[in-house]
């Protein structure tokens, strides 16, 4: 086996020669293997970009292998992504509901009153309540976030809960 004169492919002329020698062949390989739907010429360009980014690490004898491996992996990633896209296109969102219009109206009214009741709370109660009930933080975590003790956090949460319950009690 002959020893390489060059240790890497970072020179502009060397890289240009590699491109001229392998780009068309690599594009044809990807086209025949995967078809044109996933833009094989884009993957060829991306493979050459990766080659340029790693030019100091790659000796000229391994450049072709590197290009084919990277381009093939890029195409495989595109195929996987396409499968995910197709899977999500098959799942259609539910555009109907089994709830009556009266229920939907009551739900909307409740949400409006709930938001108003939340806005009527003191800021420290609202923050403690939201951290606990919405974000799922424990009383201890709420205390740490707000810089208060666990007991004060508990008091604020239960106080907010009691006020909300009283304001929304008539909607049962």
- The domain segmentation of the chain, as residue ranges, is 12-90, 101-171
Residue 120 contacts residue 167 (beta carbons within 8 Å) = yes
Residue 155 is predicted with a pLDDT of: 93
Residue 143 contacts residue 153 (beta carbons within 8 Å) = yes
Among 122, 120, 121, 146, residue whose Cα is nearest residue 135: 146
Residue 171 is predicted with a pLDDT of: 59
Among 130, 136, 115, residue whose Cα is nearest residue 160: 130
Q: What is the mean pLDDT of residues 82-94?
A: 77
Residue 85 is predicted with a pLDDT of: 84
Q: What is the mean pLDDT of residues 13-28?
A: 88
CATH 1.10.10.10 fits 101-171, yes or no: yes
Task: Give dist(CA 169, CA 27) in Å, integer.
Answer: 69
Residue 3 is predicted with a pLDDT of: 45
- Does the pLDDT value for residue 148 go beyond 90? yes
- Does the pLDDT value for residue 6 go beyond 70? no
Q: Which residue has the tokens 């390989």?
A: 29
- Confidence band for 92, pLDDT divided at 50, 70 and 90: low
- Confidence band for 1, pLDDT divided at 50, 70 and 90: very low
The pTM for the full model equals: 0.48
Among 91, 92, 130, residue whose Cα is nearest residue 114: 130
| Tens of pLDDT, residues 155-164 | 999 999 898 8
Alpha helices in the chain (DSSP H): 12-34, 40-53, 60-90, 101-120, 123-133, 139-146, 150-168
Task: Give dist(CA 80, CA 92) in Å, integer.
Answer: 20
Q: What is the mean pLDDT of residues 118-143?
A: 89
């Amino acid at each position: 086996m002959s020893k390489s004169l060059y240790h890497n492919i970072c020179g502009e002329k060397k890289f240009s020669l590699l491109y001229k020698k392998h780009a068309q062949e690599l594009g044809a390989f990807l086209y025949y293997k995967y078809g044109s739907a996933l833009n094989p010429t884009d993957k060829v360009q991306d493979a050459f970009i990766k080659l340029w980014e790693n030019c100091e690490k790659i000796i000229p004898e391994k450049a072709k292998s590197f290009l084919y491996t990277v381009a093939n992996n890029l195409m495989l990633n595109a195929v996987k992504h396409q499968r995910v896209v197709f899977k999500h296109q098959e799942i259609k969102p539910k555009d109907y509901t089994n709830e009556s219009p009266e229920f939907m109206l009551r739900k909307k009214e409740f949400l409006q009153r709930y938001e108003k009741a939340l806005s009527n709370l003191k800021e420290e109660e609202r923050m403690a309540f939201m951290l606990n009930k919405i974000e799922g933080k424990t009383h201890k975590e709420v205390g740490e976030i707000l810089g208060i003790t666990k007991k004060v956090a508990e008091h604020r949460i239960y106080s907010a809960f009691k006020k909300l319950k009283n304001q929304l009690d008539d909607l049962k």
